[in-house]
Structure 1
């Protein structure tokens, strides 16, 4: 389900299949390739995590590019609309959420994660792949802080995540917060 009407310039004529480097016009095949690319991106970015990474606007673009560069020329590039930098200024002021290893701060961490996920959902910065990119982006932040990847499985299966993302459009982050609260667990490693 798309949050915004598609930008026709990125799709093959009379379809909802994005124009891609492999010239694949079957959405099912493209979807399978995207799933594999997402798994590879998780592995790559997870292995690159270190204390020098800033979870900033540049990193968000890198996440998108890491997932989608093999398929799309616009991977890692924002849509051609104005994207606010204010959210990334706030994120920088929050030290890119790098100081939440202590479980006594888990509630505050969940509040911050919910806020930033909602704000970036509203920005909808990329033509396609925003949800996957944001989930990977925030999974790297939680991993950095010693947590497991957020478990979104149930929320994705029953469309709870989509409904929560839609609520973000009216500045209601409660559903996203509930998903994160259920899905955020400290790593046992």
Structure 2
């Protein structure tokens, strides 16, 4: 991800695109591997909670995942960012736009008693919209997937992301930028399993 405009990204080491990190790693591949390994371990320490869910809940997930890697784990980003041709939510709008999405999910009673087909569609839309906010400088996808695991498990369905390749995740989220949620619906159709206990 690159900062809008020009100039040095304050999150990165000078004259690089490598994020400053607590491990002192200044190699992209090594940092990516360390981030994956440490966040996988940290994910096991995140306890499931019942709704309501909100931006503070997502920040807590992100903080737990990346505490060992980044000083800003769990903090909202302070710069505008983009990836490819996609520009994510302006910094000044992160909190109000995220609040809208969480409020909409709360108004839908967190999808309790919903049937699987309707749940698949709702998860795709809300996931795509929340991804456009991209509240953190890095690690948005991992934190967001755990949030949606909690939402889906709370409704009483199994969830597993293993059926989806990284490139498919990216393409589906890119499509959602223009509110084409069909690729994300295909993702959630494969990832949401049976009702727990069936």
Q: Does 1:94 align with 2:108?
A: yes
C-alpha displacement at 1:168, in angstroms? 1.3
CA contact (8 A) 1:142 1:150 kept: no
1:119-138 → structure 2 map (5 Å cutoff): 119-138=129-148
Q: Which moved more, 1:142-151 or 1:17-26?
A: 142-151
Note the aligned Cα RMSD (angstroms): 2.0
Cα 1:43–1:148 shift into 2, 3 Å:
farther
Q: State the alpha-carbon separation in 2 of the partners of residues 42 and 132 from structure 1.
A: 9
1:104-123 → structure 2 map (5 Å cutoff): 105-123=115-133
Q: Which moved more, 1:23-32 or 1:174-183?
A: 23-32
C-alpha displacement at 1:114, in angstroms? 0.7
C-alpha displacement at 1:149, in angstroms? 2.8
Provide the aligned length of Structure 1 versus Structure 2: 177
Residue matched to 1:13: 14
| Structure 1, unaligned runs of 5 or more | none
> Which structure dedicates a bigger proportion of its chain to helix?
1
| Structure 2, unaligned runs of 5 or more | 79-90
Q: State the alpha-carbon separation in 1 of the partners of residues 110 and 54 from structure 2.
A: 7
TM-score between both structures, scaled by the size of structure 1: 0.83
C-alpha displacement at 1:65, in angstroms? 0.8
Q: Does 1:56 align with 2:70?
A: no
CA contact (8 A) 1:87 1:119 kept: yes
